[in-house]
Amino acid sequence: MPLPCRNPLAIAAMLLLLAAFAAGCGGSDGGNDGTAGKSSAAAQDPKPTEEGVGWPFFGRVPQRTHYLSVPLRDLDPPLNQAWSINTHALIEFPPAIADGVAYLVNKFGNAQAVRLRDHKVLWSRIVRHRQHGAPLDVTGPAYHDGRIYLAGLDGGLVALDAKTGKPIWKRDLRAHLESSPLVVGKTLYIGTDSRQLLALDTDNGKERWHFDAPAAIKASPSYEHGRIYVADYQSAMFALNAKTGKPIWRTNTSRQAPFGRGGFYSSPAIAFNRVYAARDDGTVFAFDKRDGKVDWSFPTGGQVYGSPAVAKVPGTPPTVYIGSENGRFFALHARSGKQRWSYDVGGPVPGTATVIDNTVFTSSFKTRQAIGLDVHTHKRTFLFKTAGYNPVVSNGRKLFVVGYYKLVGLEPKNASKD
């Protein structure tokens, strides 16, 4: 039994300490999920250094929320193109950004390292398949611990030295790869069309474990608190133990309301104790991340191939942002699934939105435009005449437009020229 404390100053100090401890132990969305009371889609990002913050892979964080909360007050529209780099082929995924360098890869495996402060190309390399010698048709690049990881549709997986672009190791996974790699610690996770999720050693590419799914895995895996979340192309979402690959839960969405059929090309986003993803038939789902129960579903009315972006921007409720092939862009309440607002983009939305500060960015190839919508007013505040699958990313200091062929750096209209 502790001794009683009779010193008033000591009592006040102890009360302050207890209050601080209680504040730090609060959970998000009514429970403690181990994130010190803040969801990955609600917590403030670190302040940018001189080189900015990172966007190291598709989705930016292991939960793949596609959200950066860093304020961009000096980048309010109107903005001008400061520079551009043309890769001369489709850029389906945004570059991996780390330590002030953007690692940009097009669909023919042409990889470039671009220093963002002066847009100098530090190195370029055509990534080729180890056996066939043909360039890789790649998915999203991933940066981790001084290496760039690239996966090709023909099964090639390569680790490059981020400083030089030289290959460190290559593997032929003997499978069609549409999933973008995710690296957590010393393990790389990637799905295959041969119905497997693979966990590989980042040092050499050797398999740690694999999980056999009922159908192809085209979506990219996501991670939070020791679990991997991934969906297959036959309506099922899975939670796996990240160390062993053993299933924790599985939910087949075709066997419960609202039923229907469709595969998940959409990669899951994890926030607010839920896992969010959309089937390609246009139905958006929210799963309880603990047991896989479907909390809600929402029909967009058109096919969906992009992934959800999830954010709690100050002044707005937790929100899921996603576009559909019917030209509608939706903001859904992340806890209830109710539509908050929608916007007519003017053409099919093929890819994934990003939320940066107070703006959500999306695009359509029909309009040949990337647009930004204010999440508070739902009005368009940004327009750039180029389209892309994942149209805008940021390092917390500058905005970068990912067009069909080009990476474009933006600056304020009144910025002084170098």
Q: What is the pLDDT of residues 233-272, one digit of tens each?
A: 999 999 999 999 999 999 999 998 898 889 999 999 999 9
Are the C-beta atoms of residues 232 and 213 closer than 8 Å to each other? yes
Instruction: Sort 361 into a burial class: Cβ within 10 Å, 0-12 / 13-18 / 19+.
Output: buried
pLDDT of amino acid 153: 87
pLDDT of amino acid 390: 87
Helix H or strand E segment including 16? helix 8-24
Per-residue 3-state assignment (H helix, E strand, C coil) for 40-85? CCCCCCCCCECCECCECCCCCCCCCCCEECCCCHHHCCCEEEEEEE
Residue 17 structure tokens: 């300490």
Placement of tokens 């780099």 in the chain: 85
Q: What residues form DSSP beta bridges with 76?
A: none
Q: Is the dihedral of CA 361, 366, 369, 375 positive or negative?
A: negative
**How far apart, in whole angstroms, are the C-alpha atoms of residue 176 and residue 405?**
24
* Structural domain spans, the chain: 43-412
pLDDT of amino acid 4: 38
Amino acid sitting at position 131: Q
What CATH number does the domain located at 43-412 have? 2.130.10.10
pLDDT of amino acid 35: 35
**How far apart, in whole angstroms, are the C-alpha atoms of residue 205 and residue 168?**
10
**How far apart, in whole angstroms, are the C-alpha atoms of residue 161 and residue 116?**
18
pLDDT of amino acid 63: 98
Q: Please provide residue 362's backbone torsions phi and psi, each rounded to the nearest 5 degrees.
A: -145, 180
Q: Kindly write down the DSSP assignment for every residue of 335-383, as one continuous string.
A: TT--EEEEEE-SS---S--EEETTEEEEEETTTTEEEEEETTT--EEEE
Placement of tokens 């930004």 in the chain: 372
pTM of the complete model = 0.88
Instruction: Sort 97 into a burial class: Cβ within 10 Å, 0-12 / 13-18 / 19+.
Output: buried
pLDDT of amino acid 129: 61
Please, which residues have CB within 8 angstroms of residue 95's CB and are 6 or more apart in sequence? 55, 102, 103, 104, 105, 114, 141, 393, 400, 402, 407
pLDDT of amino acid 415: 57
Q: What residues form DSSP beta bridges with 356?
A: 68, 359
pLDDT of amino acid 138: 85
**How far apart, in whole angstroms, are the C-alpha atoms of residue 184 and residue 197?**
15
Q: Please provide residue 143's backbone torsions phi and psi, each rounded to the nearest 5 degrees.
A: -105, 135
pLDDT < 70 regions, the chain: 1-40, 42-44, 74-77, 128-136, 413-418
